[in-house]
Amino acid sequence: MAARVWRSSIRDALFKKLKSGPVGGGFAPRLASTAAGTRAAPKIPPPPRKGRLLTGTMIGLAIAGGAYVSTADEATFCGWLFKATKFLNPFFALLDPEVAHRLAVSAASHGLVPREKRPDPAILGLEVWGRKFTNPIGLAAGFDKNAEAVEGLLGLGFGFVEVGSVTPIPQEGNPKPRIFRLRQEGAIINRCGFNSEGIVVVAKRLGAQHGKRKMEETSSSLSSSGDEVKQGGKAGPGILGVNLGKNKTSEDAAADYVQGVHTLSQYADYLVINVSSPNTPGLRKLQGRKQLKDLVKKVQAARDEMQWAEEGPPPLLVKIAPDLSKQDLDDIAAVALALRLDGLIISNTTVSRPDPVSRHPLAGESGGLSGKPLFDLSTNILKEMYILTRGKIPLIGCGGVSSGEDAYKKIRAGATLVQLYTAFAYGGPALIPQIKSELAECLERDGFKSVQEAVGADCR
């Protein structure tokens, strides 16, 4: 029965996409979506020869999958599908980074990516903000800037997905080229500059998805006690975060963030104030003690004045930079504790060029550096912030995570949850189950019974 269902799904998806014309799918090095302004994003056809090669590979994988599934159980076939995505990475490496990214988002939005059917290891489950995460591994903001592929991305097995940054008014972002691969270093430099379709478009997408989920819940015969911690979030299985940004030309940053809260918070399981992108002039000044305090107060007030059900408003987090002084960190920690901020994301990209990037020909390109060279810098800042906040505020560790061991180090340094992006861009969907498996092994190896037990272990 399972085999017939899998064969039917593959056949239907394949025929549907072939009838509607060429589409791109898969994952490989890419970062940030294509620029979008007041006009709809143009369709970008892949180069003829590369496009044919990619389509042929996808068809071959689908045919091979149809043959394989007849002799495999669902879990085994699921594992095969994730491993098979590795074959697509070299083809995407041939494409321009933004074209590759656009195709990847399209693939996830159209269901042309694997769907995780296997349960996460029990040791990875944890509760944060009254929500149950099946695992602590999330996708950072920047990949799905406009909330086009939330369902497909959560289906890959992430414990949570963060969309955005979303600006109030659509904006193009910075001129191209603005993304540079440093493949040998496992890094990327980008200066995209909050390219966004705007909160109205994103709200429509999230609203449609939210309505679909509510209809499914209503039609379901399953019922749960009001005392139970809610499984999953507003986007379905998995937790959805919404990252808010400001427009480049805006003179009132607080008004931009407040507008984002009023429009998008009803669809979010948590909200993020992004004050740390290096690609929007003046944005990082909002991390100063007085500026941050005033901003957070206004955003919290905007959120709290809205009508909320029993579960209350979504948690509010702030995403900070790794390029901060000791005094900056002291100030941010003081504001976070005084205003009872719900969490911090540590960290955004860096404007520094640590070794070995400093010797790379592209090191002189302006923009934020992400990937492996950021790991030590961001982890040190994470550990320092955990100590300054005395472990009272949930922290999300982000920056340079490319393995389960990396995720484990972030957790031991104080992270309750962990995000990745650049490694996912290079490694594709196959990296997700690998990281979760490796993280579970690390926890068990050191005698921890849960993620929560390991949080901040290196700071005790």
Which residue did the predictor score with more confidence, 359 or 47?
359
Which pLDDT belongs to residue 54? 59
Q: Tens digit of pLDDT for each residue in 55-72?
A: 555 656 555 555 555 446
Whether 437 is a known active-site residue: answer no
117-118-122 Cα angle (round to 5): 140
Q: How confident is the model at residue 238 (pLDDT cuts 50, 70, 90)?
A: confident
Residues in the chain: 460
Mean pLDDT for all residues in the chain: 87
Residue range 410-426: average pLDDT? 97
152-194-431 Cα angle (round to 5): 35
360 closest CA partner among 376, 371, 345:
371
Q: Tens digit of pLDDT for each residue in 256-308?
A: 999 999 999 999 999 999 999 999 999 999 999 999 999 999 999 999 999 99
Domain ranges of the chain: 91-218+229-454
Residue type, 71: T
Q: How confident is the model at residue 215 (pLDDT cuts 50, 70, 90)?
A: confident
For residue 423, pLDDT over 70 is answered with yes
Q: Tens digit of pLDDT for each residue in 174-183?
A: 999 999 999 9
Q: Name the active-site residue from 109, 265, 276, 277.
A: 277
Cα-based distances in Å from 37 to 105, 172, 199 = 18, 5, 12
Residue range 240-261: average pLDDT? 97
Residue 19 token pair: 């009838």
Alpha helices for 265-420 (secondary structure H): 289-304, 326-338, 375-388, 404-412
Share of the chain above pLDDT 90, in %: 74
Q: pTM score, two decimals? A: 0.84
Residue range 366-387: average pLDDT? 98
What is the torsional sign of CA 451, 369, 88, 115? positive
For residue 239, pLDDT over 70 is answered with yes
Q: What is the 3-state secondary structure (H, E, C) of 201-240?
A: HHHHHHHHHHHHHHHHHHHCCCCCCCCCCEECECCECCEE
Which pLDDT belongs to residue 32? 39
Strand 343-346 versus strand 316-320 pairing type: parallel
Q: How confident is the model at residue 343 (pLDDT cuts 50, 70, 90)?
A: very high
For residue 414, pLDDT over 90 is answered with yes
Residue range 134-159: average pLDDT? 97
On whether the CB atoms of residues 191 and 362 are closer than 8 A, the answer is no
- Which of the 8 DSSP states describes residue 136? S
What is the distance between the alpha carbons of residues 348 and 369, in angstroms, rounded to a whole number? 9
On whether the CB atoms of residues 32 and 98 are closer than 8 A, the answer is yes
Look-up of token digits 């994003």: 41
Alpha helices for 129-283 (secondary structure H): 150-155, 199-219, 253-264
CATH 3.20.20.70 given to domain 91-218+229-454: yes
For residue 10, pLDDT over 60 is answered with no
Which pLDDT belongs to residue 75? 85
Q: How confident is the model at residue 187 (pLDDT cuts 50, 70, 90)?
A: very high
Q: Tens digit of pLDDT for each residue in 99-141?
A: 999 999 999 999 999 999 999 999 999 999 999 999 999 999 9
Q: Tens digit of pLDDT for each residue in 31-41?
A: 333 344 444 44
